Each structure stands twice: as C-alpha cells, then as structure tokens.
Amino acid sequence: MPQMIIALAGNQNSGKTTLFNRLTGASQHVGNFPGVTVEKKEGKVKNVPSVREVTIVDLPGIYSLAPYSSEEIVTRDFILKQKPDALINIVDIMNIERGLYLSLQLMQLNIPMVIALNMMDELQQNGGSVDVERIQKDLGVTVVPISAANGDGVEELLERTVELATRGVRPEWRDYCTGPVHRAIHGVRHLIEDHAQRIGVPDGFAATKLIERDKPLFKALRLTDHEVHTIEEAILDMESEYGSDRKAAIADMRYAFIGEVVENSIIKPHMTIQHSRSIRIDSVLTHKYLGIPIFLGIMLLIFWLTFGLIGNALSDGLSDLIESLGGVIAGGMAAAGINPIMQSLVSDGAFAGVGSVISFIPMIVLMFLFMSLLEDSGYMARVAFIMDRLLRKIGLSGRSFVPMLLGFGCSVPAIMATRTLSSERDRKMTILLTPFMSCTAKLPIYAVFTMAFFEHDRALVMISLYVLGIVVGILVGLLLKITAFRGKPVPFILELPHYRMPDARSVLQLLWMRTKDFLQRAFTVIFVASIVIWFLQSFDVRFNPVEFGGDSILAAIGTAIAPIFAPLGFGNWFSSTALLTGFMAKEAVISTMAVLTGTTGDALAGSLASLFTPLTAFVFLVFILLYTPCVAAITVVRKEMNSVWVAFGVVVGQCIVAWIVAFIVYHIGLLFV
C-alpha cells in the first residue's frame, strides 16, 4: 500500500492547529521548511484504509497565495514543488467569505482537495445552516462540515480526502470571471501555456498571478520581452475598461463569485453568541486605559500561582524526591566501593547539575499551561492589539509583539517568528529587541533566588523582572529608532478571534512538546555543562584533585573575571563562573551553582545566602535578565541577520546594557539599605 502526503492549508485562527492535532495526535514532528525558518509541523496518521501511512503537513496560516510574506511563499512553494497528494483547506464557517478567497486560489493549483467547513457547531448553535450539496456544486470541490474542537466530521474528512487522492480527483474548473477580467486572464493564459507547463504550474493559476504582478512567477517563467509587453498591454486594457487597478479587479472577481455561493448555500445568524460575548469582554480587556493594567494583573496572578500557591509546593515535592533518589544512588555507589572521584562525578556533577534544573519542571509546565490557555482563548491576540500603540512609539507595530511574546517562552523560535513580518526594517529591529524578553530558561534561576531571598514577595519580584525587561527593550528600541532604524512601522491589521474555551487536547499536546524540549536540554546541554563544571572545579591547572574549590581551574577563571562584577555587588568567583556558563544555556547558571555548592533545592537556596544579600541577589537577577542570550539564540540571530558581526554586537551590546542597568539598580538600592 502507498504512503500519502496531505497538506493542511487555511487562514490563521480558522482552527487549523486544532484539526492538525485531532488528525495526528501525539505523532508530531516540529522543524523548519527547507531553506527557511518558518515552522513546519508534520504528523503521521496510521490505520487508514487503502494506504499504509498518511503524513499531514501543517502549512503556515495565510490569507492568500501572494508572494509577500514568508508564510505565503512557503505554502505555495510546498504545494507546487513538493506536490502533496491532496489538500485539506480548512475554512472558518463564521468567516467563510475570507476563507473561500484562499480556497479559490488553492483550487487553481489543480491538486485533489477537500474544503473542511470548520466550527459548524457554532453556526448551528446560533441558528445558522449550510446547504453542503449546493456549495459543493457551486464551487466544484468536495466540502465536508466539521467541528475540529470536538472531533465531529474529522474522520469523514480524512476518509474523503484519502479517497479523492487515491482516485486523483481534482477540483472542477469554474470560469467565474466575466468581462474585461475574463478576457485578460484567458489571453494571458493562452500566451503562457507552454511556459507554465515547462515549470509544472497550472496555466490558470499562473495567468491570474501574473496579472497580480507576481514577480517570482515572472522570473520563473522566463518570458521574452515581447511576451512581457503583450501581457502588460492586456492588463492595462483590463484596468482601463474595468476602471480599477489589476489587483482590485481580481479581488472583486473572486468576492463577487464568493458572494453568490454564500448567498445560495448558507444562512448566517445575525449576531452570534460568541461575537456578542467577545464584544462585551473586549469592552473591558481592550479598554484604552485599562487594557495594559489588566494584562499586568493577569500576569501577576499567573506568577503568584506558578511560583507561589501551586508551583512552589510541586517543585518542593519533586526536589525532595530527587534528593532522596540522589541519596540512594550515592549510598549504592559507596556500598559498591566505587572510586570516590567517580562518586563525586555522578553525585556532585551530573546528578546535582541536572537534578537542580529538573526540580523546577512543575513551575515551567505551569507557566506554559497558563500562557497556552491565554493564547488558545483568543486573549493574546488582544494583547498584541493593546500593545500596538506602545510599540509604535518605538518604531514598531503590534505585529512585532507576537515574536516578542514568543520570546517569553524561548528566544530561538521567537527570533525565527520574525520571518512573518513583512517589513525588513521591522523584522531586524524586532530580532534585536526580542532577547530582552525573559525566556523560560531563566525561570529556574528566578525560582531559586526568590525562594532564598524573597519568599513572601516572589510574584512581585518576578513581575518586576519581566516588566524591567520590557522597559529596557523599549528604551533600546527608542535608541534604535533614532539611529540605525529610522522610518515608520508598517500598518498593523489584526483580526481578533472570538473568545473560546481552550481546546484541552491542543493545550496538553503543546505542554508535552515544551516539556519534552526542556527535558532534552536538561539531559544534553545541562548534563554536559554540569560535567564540565564539575571537572573544572575538582582539578587544578595541573589536573590534580583539589580539596578546596578556590584552588581549582574554575576558581582561577572565575577570579579573573570577577572584578568586572564587583561594582554590581557580586564580585565573587562563584557568581562570575555561573554567568559564564549561562552563555551556553541559561539553566546552566543554576546547575553550575548546584555543582559548586554540592547542594540542590532548599539547601542550594541556603548556600546562596552566604554569597548574596537580598539587594545583590536582585541585582544578579537583573543582570541575568538582560545579559547575552544563549548560544542557540545567538546562532539564530547570526543566521537571520546574515552577519557574524551583528550577532557579536548582540552579545557585547546586551552585556553592556545588563551591566549598566544592574549598576544603576545596585546603587539606587544602596540608598535604601
């Protein structure tokens, strides 16, 4: 039996991710499309009749196949070059006109295709209905009504798609253009037919895109000067007769046809319950003056639950379990007569380093859970809308908030996500500002230090760090705006989805993927870093074992750079060494301190009391917040900016900013102690 590839395409916020999760379950792989850093998700579906295995490829959410953003380019290049066996085009039935605008373009690609009308439950709950037979007949393509959130119709959708792909059934051609647009398209189509056939692109699709002035397609077709001139003459005649420019003419043609289809087959509710509810909620959450304070209040509540009420107890329990397991392992090695150096390597190196980070998994999972709930509910789109006014003051639009928001999770995918920004100026500026957002890799550091020094004010300290990162990012943005990145941001257009109950399946799958990624880092990067730190701490420059850590190689390295941090109040070799290893991965700061002190959990927090005061502990956290991103993030910066020097500048620049801000915080703090 053959294997089959099915591509999943649709608008953003159409339920595409929910459908992808329904189809593939836990059998997913996340990577990047070849040659670009736009995220690529693949999943396997097995036990499908007539095929051995189905691979579902989740294409980026788009609104058209125009080559103006990386998502649009990735989607159409994947379909035209990779040639999947079939397409599933997911359309939000509550916004069907916009969804069908993309559908008409996908149908021109001449690939077996099924339109999945999603959110049918919402339409029916609000008194709407759809005539599936009529809409299929009018469009000339198979249509399956579904509700991805609860799984209704998903199995039938997959079966119909596989059946059409197996039989090679393609969408029927609907010649819905009329008048001057009709003449222009068919004239261009006839002229380029052989060129389109040569590059494997349907001539109808190519003709329409050429009229829309699709530069990549012009280049690929390798038209002669005479052919280009003839096409331009046909387009100018169309514009003159139609009374509008070429792109508007094509858009009007599509929407006129879509309007007829919708009028014939769909009864829409006047005002849905979801829409009415969203308007009422937005009157408060997106209020001109209350929006940002409410957002900060929500984040404060999340921090209190994560690092106080729930997360602290869970982390303490896991820490106790890890310590008990460590004691059992240490006792077993001693009883077996294992060499003391090997005992130290396992207990004080690998186990202490990795265990100190793993004990904070509950807090990290909780943070991801709350952020996923906010995103899945539709609230995070509102935050981008709220932040647009503030970001414009530093020369960016609210669209840049999306990558920055991802930066609170991890800088690597956040920097990659800037590929979605249409303005090169905005993209580069956003890349440079995103690392100032506090990533989750720093959470174990915050957790240990707030446990040791700010037990009763943990949530307040946490949110102050996050706010400080945002404020410093704004100040740096203002500096960039008047120096390297003069100009205005692109207009920000955002569709606000209705508020919905988060899909439990999607949220849990996202949590598992994030947790798995964290565990992989713990047992790779952090494990290696812990072993290296243990070795450097356990031997002197002649590779003789040391009894006192101050005589070690690590102490020599830390002592050499410690004077840099003396004006900040923590000029000891322990902290300077931890900062050095944090360049590899921020979690390594805690694993380093665990290895150096030979303690984890509450004992580690106690050990820090001899190295820091509450003031210097906070200053240390400020420096951690702002100094250089990890190696992985810097690597992505170099790739995205296509410059080693820019990446080096980010490392040096953020270290300088971190030092200056920490210096200011320290000396202001001295006035109050």
Q: Is 33 left (phi over 0), alpha (psi -120 to 50) or beta?
A: beta
Closest CA to 206 of 227, 189, 223, 184: 189
**Exposed/middle/buried for 167, CB within 10 Å: 0-12, 13-18, 19+?**
exposed
Quick: pLDDT tens for 208-258. Answer: 888 888 788 788 888 788 888 888 888 888 778 777 777 888 888 888 888
60-72: average pLDDT: 74
Q: Is 663 left (phi over 0), alpha (psi -120 to 50) or beta?
A: alpha
Q: State the pLDDT at residue 412.
A: 67
- If you search the block for the tokens 């969408």, which residue do you land on? 171
Phi, psi of 234 (to 5 degrees): -65, -40
pLDDT at 306 over 60: yes
Q: State the pLDDT at residue 36.
A: 43
Q: State the pLDDT at residue 30.
A: 45
289-299: average pLDDT: 79
Quick: pLDDT tens for 164-201. Answer: 888 888 888 777 777 787 788 888 888 888 888 888 88
The pLDDT-based confidence of 90 (bands split at 50, 70, 90) is very high
Cβ–Cβ < 8 Å for 91, 100: yes
Q: State the pLDDT at residue 659.
A: 92
- If you search the block for the tokens 């360049």, which residue do you land on? 583
Structure tokens that stand for 528 in this block: 């290696």
Beta bridge partners of 143: 115
For 301, what's the count of Cα atoms within 13 Å in the CB-facing half-sphere?
Answer: 9
Quick: pLDDT tens for 11-62. Answer: 877 878 788 888 887 555 444 434 444 556 788 877 776 677 788 888 887 8
CA–CA distance, 393 with 27 (Å, rounded to integer): 44
Q: State the pLDDT at residue 35.
A: 40
Beta bridge partners of 7: 57, 87
Classify strands 3-10 and 86-92 as parallel, antiparallel or unpaired: parallel
Helices 96-107 and 246-265, axial angle in degrees (round to 10) = 110
Helix (H) or strand (E) holding 144: strand 142-145
CATH topology of domain 3-167: Rossmann fold (3.40.50)
pLDDT at 459 over 60: yes
The pLDDT-based confidence of 423 (bands split at 50, 70, 90) is low
Helix (H, G, I), strand (E, B) or coil at 214: coil
Classify strands 129-130 and 113-118 as parallel, antiparallel or unpaired: unpaired
Closest CA to 454 of 576, 589, 308: 308
Cβ–Cβ < 8 Å for 638, 644: yes
Quick: pLDDT tens for 480-523. Answer: 777 766 666 555 555 666 677 777 776 777 677 767 776 776 66
Q: Is 243 left (phi over 0), alpha (psi -120 to 50) or beta?
A: left
pLDDT at 319 over 80: no
Cite the DSSP H helix spans in 522-643.
Answer: 527-538, 553-561, 573-581, 588-597, 601-608, 614-626, 631-641
Cβ–Cβ < 8 Å for 282, 382: yes
Closest CA to 591 of 354, 327, 359: 354
Q: Looking at per-residue confidence, does 422 or 115 come out higher?
A: 115
Question: In sequence order, what are the residues at sequence separation of 6 or more whose Cβ sits closer than 8 angstroms to the Cβ of residue 462?
Answer: 303, 307, 446, 450
Q: State the pLDDT at residue 492.
A: 54
Q: Check: pTM over 0.85? Answer yes or no.
A: no
Quick: pLDDT tens for 597-615. Answer: 666 666 666 677 777 888 8
Question: Domain locations in the chain?
Answer: 3-167, 179-267, 292-488+505-670
Cite the DSSP H helix spans in 108-245.
Answer: 120-125, 132-139, 154-167, 179-199, 203-211, 215-221, 225-242
**Exposed/middle/buried for 3, CB within 10 Å: 0-12, 13-18, 19+?**
exposed
CA–CA distance, 164 with 47 (Å, rounded to integer): 17
Cβ–Cβ < 8 Å for 308, 459: yes
CA–CA distance, 52 with 247 (Å, rounded to integer): 43
Q: State the pLDDT at residue 231.
A: 81
Q: State the pLDDT at residue 476.
A: 82
CA–CA distance, 323 with 325 (Å, rounded to integer): 5
Q: State the pLDDT at residue 487.
A: 61
Q: Looking at per-residue confidence, does 477 or 389 come out higher?
A: 477
CA dihedral 585, 591, 592, 597 (to 10 degrees): 170
Q: Looking at per-residue confidence, does 68 or 97 come out higher?
A: 97
Closest CA to 272 of 123, 131, 119, 99: 123
Quick: pLDDT tens for 328-380. Answer: 776 777 777 776 667 666 666 566 656 666 766 777 777 777 777 777 777 77
- Tell me the CA end-to-end span of the chain in Å, nearest whole number: 75
Q: State the pLDDT at residue 485.
A: 65
Compute the mean pLDDT over every residue in the chain, rounded to the nearest whole number. 77
CA–CA distance, 19 with 31 (Å, rounded to integer): 19
Cβ–Cβ < 8 Å for 30, 70: no
Helices 179-199 and 225-242, axial angle in degrees (round to 10) = 160
CA–CA distance, 191 with 210 (Å, rounded to integer): 11
Closest CA to 500 of 181, 278, 264, 168: 278
Domain 179-267 part of CATH 1.10.8.190? no
Percent of the chain whose pLDDT exceeds 90: 2
